[in-house]
Chain A
Amino acid sequence: EAGVAQSPRYKIIEKRQSVAFWCNPISGHATLYWYQQILGQGPKLLIQFQNNGVVDDSQLPKDRFSAERLKGVDSTLKIQPAKLEDSAVYLCASSSARRDGYEQYFGPGTRLTVT
């Protein structure tokens, strides 16, 4: 079974530029999560989708971050415009309660550096 795919793996941009990340979850997983992991900290949930609907986006900085999951499969996370403090690893995860309880499967992440 293929894992969670993310691209790109690395991205370097200047502040005020825009950037987008892509995630393809494990086939059949209804729930998709985007996390921000700042160096030395645990992952922080940005947004959670159930199929193509948003379940929780309470910690998403909506003035600059947006995410969508059209058709309930893959998802994109966008930052526009980026700030220095957005430098982090952005993790995508998916889960299927029906098969695995609450276990989340993580992708390799996208490391963003904002200069």
Chain B
Amino acid sequence: GNSVTQMEGPVTLSEEAFLTINCTYTATGYPSLFWYVQYPGEGLQLLLKATKADDKGSNKGFEATYRKETTSFHLEKGSVQVSDSAVYFCALIRNYGQNFVFGPGTRLSVLP
């Protein structure tokens, strides 16, 4: 079946450090890939998405590239801020109408 694996957290970084959160997936066909973010006390928000191989999603300084050859969708940001502290979820959907699969989440803490 479809599944998503993320690097274990928590990840603790200093402000302005470089961030990478690894995400790999298992799915047949060509899934669409997503990163969702959950800030403390809030619901999940879409951060970025990519719907086909080699697409790059980007938002708020975050980027992720859909790599079909390595079945990966790693999240990166060049310079994190304290306000980026949150839990980040990688997710996929194989086809519209099929279920969404989330990874377990990676908690990021950014220290001033």
Contacts and interface: CB of A to CB of B under 8 A. Distances in A.
Interface stretch (B13-21, B41-49, B63-71, B75-83): B41-49
Contact of A106 (B44, B51, B97, B98): B44
Nearest to B94: A102
Interface string B73-105: 000000000000000010101001111111111
> Per DSSP, are chain B's interface residues mostly helix, strand or loop, or mixed?
strand
Contacts of B44: 43, 91, 93, 106
Among B32, B43, B49, B99, residue most surrounded by chain A Cβ atoms (within 10 Å): B43
Given A42-B102, A42-B105, A50 B97 contact: yes
B32 A41 contact: no
A41 B43 contact: no
A24 interface: no
A28 to B, nearest CB: 16
B89 A42 contact: yes
Interface of A: 31, 33, 40-45, 48, 50, 55-56, 58, 91, 93, 97, 101-109
